[in-house]
Structure 1
Amino acid sequence: MDPAVLREDMVDGLESDAKGVLHDETVAVAMRDVPRHEFLEDDRTAYADRELEVLGTRVLAPSTVARLLQPLDLEDGHDVLLVGAGVGYTAAVVAEIVGETNVHAVDISRPLVIEARQNLARAGYGGVLVDCRDGANGFPEYAPFDRILLEAAAVDPPRALLEQLTDSGRIVFPCGTQRQRLEAVSADSEREAFAAVSFDPLLVEGEQSGAVERNRMTREDREHATRRAESRRGWEQEWIEWEESVGPQ
């Protein structure tokens, strides 16, 4: 079947009363325009509303993409950072709204960065910038951003991302651990809750698929070092002036 027909059916389904997940006309128009089949191998699979797996990462279902993008309240000309490039589809939808040269995406997985770049170029969005880096650190070279989308769960947004927002900016992220909801946090710390979601936690350097050293261990090492520093007492504290504190015997 013609991919354009499949794409129309996909968006119609998301807007239907049965699913009721897509209410923003701007996002709907963008999703009708982006050739999702350029980001996945099979046309029918590309337009089915279900999750897939590519290169060890979850490719979001179209309904999840819609849920993520609507709270961003995107406008033409916004500078946007996507933390979690994936296969590039979400970045393409954002590019349709704000302009491709205003979209910056980062991913901690180098194979995914390469995949996203190739997919975006093939789909006609070669102006989207995709870079390999730890998303928790944001993309300071291109900050500030009007909108930041974090496609990974966290209890609170990383401080670096909040610091890279414009004064009127907002970050949208899955908030929580076991039970999660989308939250939008503005630059002045106001929060707004949206739909329930389920995402994997934010990865940091070393935890990505294929890494030589698992980031879990890096995180554990950091936590143990902190605990050791906080638990030091007496002779372990190098800064104590023992001769002065002990006094004459």
Structure 2
Amino acid sequence: MTTVRDHDVDDAARLRTAMVDELRGDPITSDAVAKAMATVPRHLFAPEASLDEAYESNTTVPVKRNSDGLTLSSLSAAHLQATMLEQADIRFGMRVLEIGTMGYNAALLQELVGPTGHVTSVDIDPDIVERARTYLAHAGYDRVDVVCADAEYGVPAGAPYDRIIVTVESPDIPPAWLKQLTGDGRIVAPLRMKGVTRSIAFDRDGAGLVSRSYRLCHFVPMQGDGAHDRQRLKLDTGVYLTIEDFKPTFDVTALQQALQSPPMEDWPGAAFDLPDELELYLLTSSPQMALLHASQERIDEGLLAASTRLGVPALIGDDGSFAYRIKRQRQDSDDDFECGVIAHGPAAEDVAAQYGQLLRRWAEHFRRRDAASIRYLPAQAATPPEPGAVLPKRHGSVVVSWPQNSGTPGGDPA
């Protein structure tokens, strides 16, 4: 692989400009983020990648893996970093805490806060901390404080912070982050909920937090005291349910029997659009929803449909019958798609009808970006202030509600 050492500064500047031009409009909407990304030499923080790879907007650069090949640390894709920086709305003079360091994003933050602001970046891995310090100094950003510590407890020495931006997947919002946030501060965190992750911009709201925006994202898992084991319920070889954030009462034997029963298919007439929004709606609209996964081998055998390969929300009935979403192109359109339902088990028709009703309701009322309201309530907070899916966490709970919009539904093409 050709490394950056084989290229000159002009090539890097050209690619950096092209990257920013590509990201302009979506996700970059501010001049401040555009200027920061056009200034910081991203390639200096990714010597493992070629110059072209370093500036590909959707490319993640793995930096460290464990013995099983799982990525422990990586340089996130520029598209995702720009998305979170826009969510954070960072301004000159702010104090910012970055949780999870790789150097590059901290340099962007330093550009955004300017000479009167301050950036603290924390990571639990001493190798990653040393790497970040080295590359930040080489790139001229030695004002960033890079701290080796468990981010579950924040960095009290630099508090309070106007912004806390988290660049690792977080199963919860630790009390230390709330304590170290200013009264009008914002936390941008990739919060894991029922097996999926969304980058959520949270503002203060009484004792807790309320979302201002959320976006689809993928990050390496949190390490240290804030780590969380992913919970799975095996139904068959290569088939399982993700059962995080709730205590399942599912009849496993009945589910296994239903899995082997002939499937039924239904098409309720609901549009397929904005799949990440639809996924979040389905998972938080019923306590009987869980992510259903199947390996490619089991899909190729015809046991389950292709939508299960990356996980699809499944509605579980009391008798073990279950239903999940599929899609197909509309017969009268070359571009539009519609949602369908596959159901298994003795009550397949009933669970398929319930699932179809949820699909139609989403398409009619919630088919848009940021349709949900997501609140975080620390453990000491009062009862949730409004109806919604309550997802229990170690330090508190997440409440996801879907305020109905009377406007015309619509969204970006899927």
TM-score of Structure 1 vs Structure 2, range by shorter chain? 0.7 to 0.9
Residue 83 of structure 2 corresponds to residue 67 of structure 1: yes
Q: Residue 45 of structure 1 is aligned with which of 23, 29, 53?
A: 53
AA partner of residue 187 (structure 2)? I
AA partner of residue 148 (structure 2)? C
Residue 104 of structure 2 corresponds to residue 89 of structure 1: yes
Provide the residue aligned with 1:117 in structure 2.
133
Deviations 1:63-118 (A, max 9, x none): 011111111110000000000012x0000001001036600000011000000000
Find the aligned partners of 1:205 and 1:164 in 2 and give their Cα distance. 18
AA partner of residue 28 (structure 2)? L
Q: Which secondary structure state, in structure 1, belongs to the residue aligned with residue 19 of structure 2?
A: helix
What is the RMSD computed on CA atoms of the aligned residues?
A: 1.9
Find the aligned partners of 2:224 and 2:171 in 1 and give their Cα distance. 15
Deviation at 1:187, TM superposition (A): 2.9
Change (3 A) 1:29 1:201: same
Q: Is the 8 A contact 1:145 1:164 kept in 2?
A: yes
Provide the residue aligned with 2:220 in structure 1.
200
Find the aligned partners of 1:121 and 1:14 in 2 and give their Cα distance. 27
Provide the residue aligned with 1:243 in structure 2.
none
Q: Is the 8 A contact 1:72 1:184 kept in 2?
A: yes
Find the aligned partners of 2:124 and 2:222 in 1 and give their Cα distance. 10
Q: Which secondary structure state, in structure 2, belongs to the residue aligned with residue 198 of structure 1?
A: coil
Provide the residue aligned with 1:35 in structure 2.
41
Q: Which secondary structure state, in structure 2, belongs to the residue aligned with residue 162 of structure 1?
A: helix
Deviation at 1:155, TM superposition (A): 4.0
Q: Is the 8 A contact 2:186 2:204 kept in 1?
A: yes
- Comparing 159-168 with 148-157, greater Cα deviation is found at 148-157
Provide the residue aligned with 1:4 in structure 2.
13
Find the aligned partners of 1:85 and 1:102 in 2 and give their Cα distance. 15
Q: Which runs of 5+ in 2 are unaligned?
A: 1-9, 66-72, 230-414
Task: For 1:157-176, list aligned pairs within 5 A.
Answer: 157-176=173-192
Provide the residue aligned with 2:197 in structure 1.
180
AA partner of residue 172 (structure 1)? V
Deviations 1:165-218 (A, max 9, x none): 0111111001224212111222332222321112233211597xxxxxxx97xx
Residue 38 of structure 2 corresponds to residue 22 of structure 1: no
TM-score under structure 2 normalisation? Answer: 0.47
Q: Is the 8 A contact 2:12 2:51 kept in 1?
A: yes
Find the aligned partners of 2:220 and 2:39 in 1 and give their Cα distance. 28
Greater strand share, structure number: 2
Find the aligned partners of 2:161 and 2:204 in 1 and give their Cα distance. 11
Deviations 1:13-67 (A, max 9, x none): 1126xxx222222111100000111111132221122011113312101101111
Q: Which runs of 5+ in 1 are unaligned?
A: 208-214, 217-249
AA partner of residue 12 (structure 1)? D
List structure 1 runs of 4+ shifted beyond 4 angstroms.
none
AA partner of residue 95 (structure 1)? Q
TM-score under structure 1 normalisation? Answer: 0.77
Task: For 1:72-151, list aligned pairs within 5 A.
Answer: 72-86=88-102, 88-99=103-114, 102-151=118-167
AA partner of residue 210 (structure 2)? E
Change (3 A) 1:112 1:60: same
Aligned residues: 205
Q: Which secondary structure state, in structure 1, belongs to the residue aligned with residue 127 of structure 2?
A: helix
Q: Which secondary structure state, in structure 2, belongs to the residue aligned with residue 29 of structure 1?
A: helix
User: Alignment identity in percent?
Assistant: 37
AA partner of residue 141 (structure 1)? A
Q: Is the 8 A contact 2:152 2:226 kept in 1?
A: no
Greater helix share, structure number: 1
